[in-house]
Amino acid sequence: MGLLWIGEADGVASIIDLAPQLQRLGREIPLALRCLCAAGSGLDALAEGLHEDDPDSLRLSIEAWSPIASAHALATCDLVLLPGQTPAHASRLIAALWAGRFAVCHSSPYYEALGEFAWVGNDLAEGIRWALSHPEEVLARLDRAQDYVGRVHAPAAVARGWIEIFRKIA
């Protein structure tokens, strides 16, 4: 199962906190976690520790974030992980849904209406299990998400919103 986390230095702690859960789940289901973030984020120490502790339970790869790396990672992952609660997660959830990827997320006030299209809860390992055992519901949520994101968050929709704002001001 290919998992993806895209984040910044301030979100690394949430991945480090999540790693033991993923390791336990990785003993049941083969897991590979691809992390896209800035260099020097602190994940290197986690990767070394995982490799020494139980190298087969969770394969962790770390790459520098770039728009191209992000697009490729979204196109090739199975699930997107959004641990913690940062405002940036709303845009990462939109990107995942727009790419047709299901997200497993901690509860966050920043998701608003987007939360109905993902698995949202406290135990992300349970969310991964849920996604694997409910493929029809995952596909139904992604189908609804594609429609919603296209209507509300796609660049053309956002541009229309800004045009309306400026028309009201003028």
Which pLDDT belongs to residue 13?
82
Task: Look at residues 89, 79, 99, 107 and name the one whose alpha carbon lies nearest to residue 149.
Answer: 99
- Ordered by start, the domain boundaries in the chain are 2-169
* Strand order from edge to edge, sheet including 59-64: 59-64, 32-37, 2-6, 79-82, 102-106, 119-121
Determine the 3-state secondary structure of 59 from DSSP. Answer: strand
Which pLDDT belongs to residue 44?
64
Which pLDDT belongs to residue 93?
94
The secondary structure element, H or E, covering residue 82 is: strand 79-82
Angstrom distance (rounded) from CA 124 to CA 21: 8
Span 2-169: which CATH code?
3.40.50.2000
Angstrom distance (rounded) from CA 90 to CA 92: 5
DSSP code for 111 = -
* Tens digit of pLDDT at every position of the chain (170 positions): 999 999 887 778 888 889 889 999 999 999 999 999 876 666 666 656 655 666 678 888 889 889 999 999 999 999 999 998 888 889 999 999 999 999 999 998 888 889 999 999 999 999 999 999 999 999 999 999 999 999 988 888 889 889 999 999 98
Q: How many Cβ atoms sit within 10 Å of the Cβ of residue 112?
A: 9
Question: Can you tell me which residue has the tokens 């490729």?
Answer: 72
Which pLDDT belongs to residue 53?
65
The answer to whether the CB of 82 falls within 8 A of the CB of 89 is: yes
Determine the 3-state secondary structure of 35 from DSSP. Answer: strand
